[in-house]
Structure 1
């Protein structure tokens, strides 16, 4: 048992008692534009290249993968160094793929956001009270198995049974709905729900439902057998840190692919090509404050209300030696994706690229 808190037992969900949520002011879905796009004009590309050069100097990164997409106008993509592989890790930004596949099930009437997770997964702490919505929004109260001390001493790909065993040992941190706390285990469980409803493994579900329809031919969900030979590695972690590895993240962040393809996915998502307009608006309806920073969490999506600046929506990710972000600038109507093999700079680089437009 975790000695930092007393496990909480709940028969039902509770009303939210955390810090104030962000009032959603996001007009969705976006107007549709072609998903195929030409390169941005040379002057714009030159300015974006200069921003990326400066970001590489300032960040201390070993590599940066970046792309900018302006729907209806064009796309720019580059790496630093220019010899770096085009395939990058996206860490927790991959959670949006999992959330999208779950919302597809909701649209098809195969599950409900308010279904208890115990329908598909037995023996979870408070499993009869935790719903699909709680898992998506990180309001389940469940511990995050990757924070377990024994796991951190011997990190590995956890089976569902191992994940549940860790969650049971620690117990729930609060009643579902009562508060917000980030937990990778929420998305590991959602991956299990996807497989149990759809039939095929999680990797196949994401491929069939999202990657193939959008022709994302260089994006994939990593698996235990993936060598990652074509993927930009994270920067070497510090002492006591666990190097970022998408294979261990699975449904909580196992996506790798080019920055440009991440933006195709996000454009398709925000234009309601993958899920219904109602499901899309629901994803951004309740936005919970994160980590005491100007960031808010919905259903597998995030919002970044910048002071005296535009509202960005998307998702961040990271781990030891890796920082990532994929965002849409609601003012400039443009997307940016940045994966940094380093300790900092993903959000700052994305914002600098968007400001250059």
Structure 2
């Protein structure tokens, strides 16, 4: 019996050693199959991945790389000026708008929701800060249980009615659960406090000072926007009103880079506010969230980032490294593309730093 256990122990240890060796050999990618300049390596990587969409990478205030791949629509190629529904990337704009109003002392992040929606359930215990950090406990109206119809035109207040009387998922401030509903409420608060429609406020106070002249909420007649795809086929229709302040913005990689530069130069909010937005206010493994950004460690660097996607066939990811002045923007109009993994590997290539497989996940 002792001999049996000894053999078993040796076997387990051997497997552990072999497993560890395999992890060291195959668990990280140094992109050794790529050659040439950084830009050439990026292009090779995206081509090898059969990427469809547009990428822009900026470093130290300069555009390092930008290029479109695959189709935007029939007979139209993706390019750096292709318009995309950016979906949840819009949340960062909504959060900036709230923080602008806070800097003007027109509201505070500690204000209870009751100040704006007195009849909303639990409004006395939910704050603007909870809505910003997805720690309100308000259910997300896009959860499968609610069978939300993306195809029809919606008014924000009608969307909120989908979950108004649903039970909170946890006590406000004591958990994290991504909630598009919370950002719809933030959009309505912006309207109440500013006296402007949400879209007008964003255009005047964020698009214009950032120089984002190709961003919008409504598509003019004759203007081409990228079509979403699922496995190469057109995705199901989604009305652009289905997300409001949680995801209605239409933009390009170049305009998103201008938004990034405006934030880095404190043109929209102060440096102190930017740091507050990038500070973790709520978490639940593996997610950490600030105000309008996921807070992250990316290849050993402090960063913020955000995904965006629609079931109609869009998968986006933006990452902003703080200490490296590096921003990686990945917009894709193909649902099967893992834009976060693409984003992480592009960051790895730019930094010339190997990436472990788990670093593609968080």
TM-score interval for Structure 1 and Structure 2 normalised by the shorter chain = 0.7 to 0.9
Match of 1:34 in 2: none
Asked if the contact 1:91–1:246 (Cα under 8 Å) also holds between the matched residues in 2, the reply is no
Query: Deviation at 1:343?
Result: 2.2
Query: Deviation at 1:137?
Result: 0.5
Per the alignment, do residues 74 and 159 of structure 1 end up closer, same or farther by CA in structure 2, a change over 3 Å counting?
Answer: closer
Asked if the contact 1:327–1:335 (Cα under 8 Å) also holds between the matched residues in 2, the reply is yes
Match of 2:337 in 1: 344
Match of 2:308 in 1: 317
Q: TM-score, normalised by structure 2?
A: 0.76
Matches within 5 A, 1:52-71: 52-55=46-49, 57=50, 63-71=52-60
Residue aligned with 1:279, SS: helix
Between the aligned partners of 2:83 and 2:97, the Cα distance in structure 1 is 22
The counterpart of 1:124, out of the listed 114, 120, 124, is 120
Residue aligned with 1:314, SS: strand
Between the aligned partners of 2:143 and 2:222, the Cα distance in structure 1 is 24
1:61-111 residue CA offsets vs partner (Å, 9 max, x unmatched): 6x3111011124434321112712511222111100000000000000000
Query: Deviation at 1:50?
Result: 2.1
With 192-201 and 95-104 compared, the bigger mean Cα shift is at 192-201
Residue aligned with 1:144, SS: coil
Per the alignment, do residues 167 and 123 of structure 1 end up closer, same or farther by CA in structure 2, a change over 3 Å counting?
Answer: farther
With 96-105 and 197-206 compared, the bigger mean Cα shift is at 197-206
Mind listing any 5+ residue stretches in structure 2 that lack a counterpart? 1-35, 72-76, 351-362
Residue aligned with 1:113, SS: coil
Higher RCO structure (Cα 8 Å, ≥6 apart): 1
Per the alignment, do residues 91 and 259 of structure 1 end up closer, same or farther by CA in structure 2, a change over 3 Å counting?
Answer: same
Between the aligned partners of 1:203 and 1:77, the Cα distance in structure 2 is 28
Residue aligned with 1:146, SS: coil
Q: TM-score, normalised by structure 1?
A: 0.77
Match of 2:169 in 1: 173
Between the aligned partners of 2:293 and 2:260, the Cα distance in structure 1 is 11
The counterpart of 1:111, out of the listed 107, 110, 123, is 107
Query: Deviation at 1:228?
Result: 9.2
Matches within 5 A, 1:199-214: 199-214=195-210
1:267-298 residue CA offsets vs partner (Å, 9 max, x unmatched): 322332211222222212234335x43x4211
Matches within 5 A, 1:69-80: 69-80=58-69
Match of 1:265 in 2: 259
Per the alignment, do residues 243 and 322 of structure 1 end up closer, same or farther by CA in structure 2, a change over 3 Å counting?
Answer: farther
Between the aligned partners of 1:262 and 1:77, the Cα distance in structure 2 is 12
Per the alignment, do residues 74 and 147 of structure 1 end up closer, same or farther by CA in structure 2, a change over 3 Å counting?
Answer: closer
- CA RMSD, 1 decimal: 2.7
Residue aligned with 1:350, SS: helix
Asked if the contact 2:152–2:238 (Cα under 8 Å) also holds between the matched residues in 1, the reply is no
With 261-270 and 207-216 compared, the bigger mean Cα shift is at 261-270
Matches within 5 A, 1:13-92: 43-55=37-49, 57=50, 63-81=52-70, 83-84=77-78, 86-92=82-88
Asked if the contact 2:279–2:295 (Cα under 8 Å) also holds between the matched residues in 1, the reply is no
Asked if the contact 2:61–2:325 (Cα under 8 Å) also holds between the matched residues in 1, the reply is no
Match of 2:245 in 1: 251
Match of 1:300 in 2: 292
Between the aligned partners of 1:226 and 1:248, the Cα distance in structure 2 is 18
1:196 aligns with 2:192: yes
1:94-146 residue CA offsets vs partner (Å, 9 max, x unmatched): 10000000000000000011111121223211112111101100111111123
